[in-house]
Structure 1
């Protein structure tokens, strides 16, 4: 049909457009007095993409900004992931990045997950900047830019993070539920109701910012850190200075108990309800108010000095339990008392206690 017009195909290199946005973000954010175009000049930054999609960050973001990326590894996408799993929470993956950073004497290391919606980092000393530390660091930047903002996180964050956000940074910590969509949607809801919330982030490294349309973009979070890294260098500071007052637990553990019944959701909720009643009868234990998932217990005995959170998995027939303590041996003490309660539930696999 001659009346139908011929279409046109215009190939676009979206990765370059995407990367250039980060380049401009760093240039404008740092506003370097001597080399505006290359504000990362003199910084050695290692990227470990784990053969996921994040390898572009080294060549298309860091190098145009003047950074030395020598020692960056596993930048080529390979779905068989021959080196390590691209997961910022994976111990092997973080160890791989740390080894590269220390071997290269680099200033900073970056690791992404498969599709770059999660990220973590390592500083020049090999210290991990993930989980509570990453949330604290991004929160420090956000609350400097937006004083008093609410920071929405998932349910397993530390008491020390709450203290850091609320007492040191004068923000509001809204500890919500696991699941990145849960924290993002909750942050959006708060904004719609007139309560400013500029950051929604999980301990997994899954984070989204209001200024970036609440997209869960790990590269964006890392770029915010890079601006701070360059500014800190200019001012003779260290990036880790942002979180020097963050109190971290002496010990932490996560136990995952499988539920061996078909209706695991109902069974799990019975356990949560019974644990609430059990806690009321325990010396030194108390239910933490404003908890939106499972049951969170403050464990106040001197030999425990911590907390536990027992909840249902979002998708699996599993009850995860997170425990933290501020004293050596405290996790074992809390776990021992919890075991006396869980031992009555025959459909639970208690083997994680042995491990």
Structure 2
């Protein structure tokens, strides 16, 4: 039989060697990379890809698969998992940290200063990497990416097509745009799911990690995305819906909110937008935006809120609460608690 892992590891090693364009059979010599596989399936990346290419993988952790996950959940979005890698990078003075989810379809990184590169940062980094071979790149993302990301990508000449949550959704949308002649060579979610056209649109975390390694071989990863700004406040609320037909109810709330935003003086509807309602706020304390959508699987409305000033977030939450309190089947406690804790009255 075929040892598929062996073939796959060789494929990724070749890819890294070709891109770095070095005559050495150890192109990663002098590079210190810490891998955290969280006892999922990603340990091979350290032992079968990085080490054979000459990288120092000292300090790599939890490389052995163990389904009881004794150390932390293998999930790049999990704070505890990310902190664990951040500590390892700092302790070992590594040039780069890489972390994978259980089955390696997602990955994230930590830069040489111990800063996590996840969410919008990861989208920015992956887009830059994809744009090397695709100068007219369109990147298809999920719906919750920040306004700062869009600004950053546009400055780099990259077009963002903000679509829906769900990696199948972003991948299929990228394929559709490609069929229409647009170079949508990257589909990526803020969760770390990334699929490159050059890799058959597979959601493959090891492929993304390999791209990041190539980049780290020639420059510090942090420099690449140093111009990306970050919101002062990011908040997430979950508003349970007590209706059996929660989706129809939620869609109605969103439809009403869109119409309200169209008439409002203080908030504006952001379009095009393919999931839920995205609205921009101008407050006495600064600007911000919120995305309200219907959850794919649970009977709730997730609300994602970002602002450029901490004080603006509570103000925005109040405006939302005012609008949403007309719906008896919405549980608004999450929003109320936040406002109570953060009001400057």
Q: TM-score range by the shorter chain?
A: over 0.9
Q: Does 1:149 align with 2:131?
A: no
Cα offset for 1:54? 0.5
Cα offset for 1:106? 1.1
Cα offset for 1:144? 2.8
Name the counterpart of 2:235. Answer: 253
Gaps of 5+ in 1: 1-9, 233-237
For each residue in 1:294-335, what CA deviation from the matched residue of structure 2 results, as whole angstroms up to 9, or x when unmatched? 000011224140100000111211111111111122222111
| Aligned partner of 1:37 among 25, 43, 48 | 25
For each residue in 1:163-185, what CA deviation from the matched residue of structure 2 results, as whole angstroms up to 9, or x when unmatched? 1112x111211000000000000
Segment of structure 1 superposing worse, 148-157 or 297-306: 297-306
Contact 1:41–1:66, Cα closer than 8 Å, also in 2: yes
Name the counterpart of 2:203. Answer: 216
Contact 1:304–1:334, Cα closer than 8 Å, also in 2: no
Name the counterpart of 1:120. Answer: 108
Name the counterpart of 1:82. Answer: 70
Q: Does 1:319 align with 2:301?
A: yes
Name the counterpart of 1:18. Answer: 8
Name the counterpart of 1:271. Answer: 253
Q: Distance in 1 between matches of 2:228 and 2:109?
A: 17
Q: Secondary structure at the match of 1:329?
A: helix
Task: Kindly report the root-mean-square deviation, in angstroms, between the aligned alpha carbons of the 2 structures.
Answer: 1.2
Contact 1:55–1:76, Cα closer than 8 Å, also in 2: yes
Contact 1:101–1:108, Cα closer than 8 Å, also in 2: yes
Contact 1:260–1:348, Cα closer than 8 Å, also in 2: yes
Name the counterpart of 2:332. Answer: 350
Name the counterpart of 1:132. Answer: 120
Larger radius of gyration: 1
Q: Distance in 1 between matches of 2:317 and 2:15?
A: 46
Q: Distance in 1 between matches of 2:70 and 2:244?
A: 37
Q: TM-score, normalised by structure 2?
A: 0.95
| Aligned partner of 2:194 among 204, 207, 227 | 207
For each residue in 1:174-219, what CA deviation from the matched residue of structure 2 results, as whole angstroms up to 9, or x when unmatched? 0000000000000000011111111000000001000000000011
Q: Aligned ranges for residues 66-81 of structure 1 at < 5 Å?
A: 66-81=54-69
Name the counterpart of 2:166. Answer: 179
Cα offset for 1:281? 4.0
Q: Does 1:27 align with 2:17?
A: yes
Q: Secondary structure at the match of 1:296?
A: strand
Q: Secondary structure at the match of 2:278?
A: strand
Name the counterpart of 1:337. Answer: 319
Q: Distance in 1 between matches of 2:217 and 2:310?
A: 37
Q: How many residues were matched structurally?
A: 337
Q: Distance in 2 between matches of 1:296 and 1:172?
A: 19
Name the counterpart of 2:83. Answer: 95
| Aligned partner of 2:292 among 310, 315, 319 | 310
Q: Secondary structure at the match of 1:54?
A: coil
Q: Distance in 2 between matches of 1:206 and 1:87?
A: 11
Q: Distance in 2 between matches of 1:62 and 1:330?
A: 45
Segment of structure 1 superposing worse, 72-81 or 273-282: 273-282
Q: Distance in 2 between matches of 1:248 and 1:186?
A: 27
Segment of structure 1 superposing worse, 135-144 or 288-297: 135-144
Q: Distance in 2 between matches of 1:99 and 1:333?
A: 36
Q: Distance in 1 between matches of 2:198 and 2:48?
A: 22
Q: Distance in 2 between matches of 1:286 and 1:16?
A: 53
Q: TM-score, normalised by structure 1?
A: 0.92
Q: Secondary structure at the match of 2:90?
A: helix
Q: Secondary structure at the match of 2:125?
A: helix
Q: Does 1:161 align with 2:143?
A: no
